[in-house]
Amino acid sequence: MDGISVQTGGQATISPQTCRAWEDAHSVGMYAKRDIVLVRGEGATVWDGAGRAYLDCTAGVGVANVGHANAAVADAVSRQARLLVTCHGMFYNDARARLLKQLADIAPPGIDRFFLCNSGSEAVEGALKFARMATGRSEVVAMVRGFHGKTFGALSATWEAKYREPFEPLVPGFRHVPLNDAAVLAEAVSERTAAVLLEIIQGEGGIRPASAEFLEAARRLCDERGALLIVDEVQTGLGRTGSWFACQGMGLRPDLVTMAKALGGGLAMGAVGVGPRVENLQRLTHTTTFGGAPIACAAASAVIAEVRRLDLLRHAAEAGGAFIDRLRVLNLRKVREVRGRGLMVGVELRQKAGPFLLPLAERGVLAMLAGNLVLRFLPPLVISEAELERVAAALEEVLHA
Ligand SMILES: Cc1ncc(COP(=O)(O)O)c(C=O)c1O
């Protein structure tokens, strides 16, 4: 076949030019592409087809928490692939049982039953349906700048108009209130509200943390008015902010929690965790062929074990905290604010952030945007202090240029 160049040592099997040409010709083109062909990763580093290394502060958008090509995850996946890849939820399975027990051990207090699925959007869909079923109500209060995915239910909860409007009419009954405005939330939550849905730190919305007072008000209003509190931890979960789930760091007890991204160590996996108020879930009303597949469960079990073995909660909190402090003294002429917790970090600029991505990549750092003004850093949690210093130095350089 044209363009094939077989290489050794885990390199790409097609040339970068062919790779670009085939993706451009044969994908529907939903992604704004950068002109980089990534072919390999290890720890916090990824390499392009020409052998150029980058510190990866995208981590697949917060997926590779335990590092690229993590050996324990790779071993668990290959072992399970030779044992049993698939096992529908109609049967019991040892890999799934082990993961469910591990999830119950790390989840926020009271969350001890899980629905396993395949993505963040699917976890949000599940949480919304469970909340409606448990309460018999249909309204949902979500947040301005919240992001929950792009399937129809999740998209109805997502705030950004440019994602929503092309697909209206969406699911009815959703409204958005400003994050951190408890008075407006109090007006919005009623006896018709099935759930309040929020992120502890808004990811796509610009790395915007919910305040402790707002979270406390959300919990109280849900209790008073019989609504359920769904915390979307798809981006914040699995150690990203220095605790297993960001709500634990805030002392918040949700009724439902969604997770995905880092959970499967790179394999597609999501989950909804539910607490004691989520009752009356009727059999077969929400199912999935692939959810809870042994191969994904084995990967997720290895991810949880690796976070423990490498002490990544502490590392994310300490190294992330130092990184944030370091960034706070950067060029104040260009930087409006540095926000975040652990290794979920946003640098809001006084000008568009997009033009800084290429200069950063030229200095060996891959970062992302979170809205027009915010540079977002979600490195693998295994990134070292020395590597974070290289990221900070590269950012300092491009901001001064
Ligand atoms: C908080 C949050 N929820 C849900 C999603 C959707 O997840 P997925 O892209 O896996 O469907 C995302 C994705 O970025 C997210 O950040």
In the chain, what are the domain boundaries? 85-278+287-309
The per-residue pLDDT for 12 is 63
The per-residue pLDDT for 8 is 39
Answer with the residue of higher pLDDT: 336 or 2: 336
Cβ(294) to ligand 1 under 6 A? no
- Ligand 1 centroid to Cα of residue 259, in Å, is 9
First CA to last CA distance, the chain: 45
- Ligand 1 centroid to Cα of residue 120, in Å, is 4
pLDDT for residue 293 is more than 90: yes
Substitution site in 58, 147, 233, 369 for ligand 1 pocket (most atoms within 8 Å of beta carbon): 147
pLDDT (tens digit per residue) in 191-218:
999 999 999 999 999 999 999 999 999 9
Q: What percent of the chain has pLDDT over 70?
A: 97
Cβ(234) to ligand 1 under 6 A? yes
399: left (phi over 0), alpha (psi -120 to 50) or beta: alpha
CATH class label, 85-278+287-309: alpha beta
The per-residue pLDDT for 332 is 74
The pTM for the full model equals: 0.97
Tokens of 375: 């540079």
Per-residue pLDDT, averaged over 44-58, amounts to: 97
pLDDT (tens digit per residue) in 360-375:
999 999 999 999 999 9
Cβ(126) to ligand 1 under 6 A? no
Cβ(120) to ligand 1 under 6 A? yes
Positive or negative: CA dihedral 6, 8, 11, 16: negative
Per-residue pLDDT, averaged over 122-150, amounts to: 98
Per-residue pLDDT, averaged over 260-264, amounts to: 98
- What is the rounded average pLDDT for all residues in the chain? 96
**What is the layout of strands, in order, in the sheet containing 38-42?**
38-42, 45-48, 53-56, 365-366
